[in-house]
Amino acid sequence: MSTRSNPFARAVCLLFVFLGCSGTTALSQNSTSALANARGQSARSGKPLFAVVGADYCPACKALMERLKTDESLSEFASHYVAVSVTYGDDPAWSQWNAKYPIERNAIPRLYIIDSNGKAIYAKAGAPQGQSLVRLLRSSLEKSGPGVNEPDARALVGAVERAEAAAEAGDLLAQAVAIAEVQEIAANANAFDPSVRTLRQIYESMAQTLEDRASNGTEDASNLADLETPASSTSFDTAESESTQTKASGFTQVLDQVTVASSLALFPQWRERGNAIMKELRKNRAQALWLQQSEALVKARKMAAASDPKLQNRSSDLFAVVLKRFPSSEAAILARDELAELTPDHAALPTNPGAAASAPSAALSPAGKATAPMKPRTWTSLDGNFSRTATLLQQTSTHVQLRDPAGKTFAVAIAKLCDADRAYLEELQAAE
């Protein structure tokens, strides 16, 4: 079968120039070899085969080819099919093809869509009209699978499940880890596969969240040294609520920005943005300890979110490192809870669940200066109407962070504390 002597074959090759002729099998003197090459390319790439059977004397065939050359609504399918033409008649390639994929009607043109395993998805005489052809091409791609090998297909499905669960839980870092693990697979997969489409939707939503939080990241990162809780009430409970609603602690803010930066760094196109956030965070020496705690905690969380069981197992030890390096800190409380969920019998966990909450702690400033181990004491409001037993965790220029015997942390403005409490804090500062 020669394109020089066969006007139909020559025209079909041209129509796929418009659709992205890189996926088209060039016609040669040996038509059987051309067909075999097309099948081989489909099998290797995972792309379905799009075959057109017709003849140069057929007006309907010519009309179909003209549409395929000029209809821009078909261009989105350009890179997702391997195209081949077969001339109807006495050609050996046609005999071979018709024996494998017979059609009852003895009419042309004929369209065939064959998946990469050689199974016919569509095989009919006649040319679909209007949007029917678009729908056919799209639905056939969905049926043809992700266009990747079986292990990669399983990885895509698993990533979708993990990313969906993370999105529902509001876990930005876990979403990023799940998507980043398969970003190269997804880039080369069939864009119309349901798993790939779902992953893209999650990715786009995550990208918007990262964009929103990253756009404020560098601005917020330079203003985290102090807690900014309104001082309109002397109630400890009100102070705790206000703190949670605005900026619960400098550590929480730093942790959020490290989470955003680490998520961005998983994607080459955003890595520079993530590095900029971390650079800004490191400028503020007053929050050095919070930054160390956040980086250690996020590193453990990234491992825990991975699909590799070895990395998941390693994450348990990283959570334990946080407990050891930063005892009695907010990071340690989070690490303890996450380690207990991941590895309940880990040696780093206290045998008594309340032990960690009631153990003496060292008061830590944002810069990392530690005083002697702290014991719980009674803190009283300025007007004397409220009191609460709690352990001092850390102190900034305007607030103290405390933890009650149940392990709950909260922040209180120093200005709301009684004279004796403020004097106590001044003594601690002087001792440093």
Q: DSSP labels for 323-344? A: HHHSTTSHHHHHHHHHHHHH-T
pLDDT digits (tens, 9 = 90+) for 229-263: 333 333 444 444 443 333 446 888 899 999 999 99
Mean pLDDT of 187-198: 77
Question: Measured between alpha carbons, how far is 264 from 357 in angstroms, rounded to an integer?
Answer: 34
What's the pLDDT at 147? Answer: 62
What's the pLDDT at 373? Answer: 54
In sequence order, which ranges of 27-129 are alpha helices (DSSP H)?
31-45, 59-70, 92-100
What is residue 199's three-state secondary structure? helix
Residue with tokens 């250690």: 296
Whether the link from the prior residue into 109 is cis, omega within 30° of 0, is yes
> Which of 17-21, 180-184, 426-430 is predicted with the least confidence, judged by mean pLDDT?
17-21
Fold of 361-431: SH3 type barrels. (2.30.30)
Is pLDDT of 332 > 60?
yes
Residue 208's nearest CA partner among 270, 141, 282, 134 is: 270
* pLDDT confidence tier of residue 228, bands split at 50, 70 and 90: very low
What's the pLDDT at 18? Answer: 33
Burial (CB count <10 Å: 0-12, 13-18, 19+), residue 128: middle
Question: Measured between alpha carbons, how far is 144 from 138 in angstroms, rounded to an integer?
Answer: 10
What's the pLDDT at 226? Answer: 36
- CB neighbours (10 Å) of residue 111? 22
pLDDT digits (tens, 9 = 90+) for 67-118: 888 888 888 787 788 888 888 887 788 888 888 888 877 888 988 998 888 8
Contact 296/315 with Cβ under 8 angstroms? Answer: no
Burial (CB count <10 Å: 0-12, 13-18, 19+), residue 10: middle
Mean pLDDT of 150-176: 90
- Give me the phi and psi of 343, to 5 degrees please: -135, 85
* pLDDT confidence tier of residue 265, bands split at 50, 70 and 90: very high
Question: Measured between alpha carbons, how far is 49 from 24 in angstroms, rounded to an integer?
Answer: 10
> Which of 4-18, 195-209, 378-392, 404-418 is predicted with the least confidence, judged by mean pLDDT?
4-18
Contact 359/353 with Cβ under 8 angstroms? Answer: no
Alpha-carbon distances, residue 81 vs 88, 109, 112 (angstroms): 21, 19, 12
- DSSP symbol at 24: B
| Amino acid in the structure at residue 43 | A
Which residues are within 8 A (CB) of 10 and not within 5 positions of it... i.e. 6 or more apart?
3, 4, 27
The full DSSP string for 265-312 is: HTSTTTHHHHHHHHHHHHH-GGGHHHHHHHHHHHHHHHHHHSS-HHHH
- Whether 7-143 shares its CATH topology with 361-431 is answered no
- Name the architecture of domain 7-143: 3-Layer(aba) Sandwich (3.40)
What's the pLDDT at 403? Answer: 78
Contact 64/51 with Cβ under 8 angstroms? Answer: no
Is pLDDT of 411 > 60?
yes
pLDDT digits (tens, 9 = 90+) for 121-145: 898 888 888 888 889 888 888 777 6
Show me where the domains of the chain are located. 7-143, 145-208, 209-356, 361-431
> Which of 3-7, 56-60, 371-375, 401-405 is predicted with the least confidence, judged by mean pLDDT?
3-7
- CB neighbours (10 Å) of residue 132? 10
Q: Return the higher-pLDDT residue of 341 and 350.
A: 341
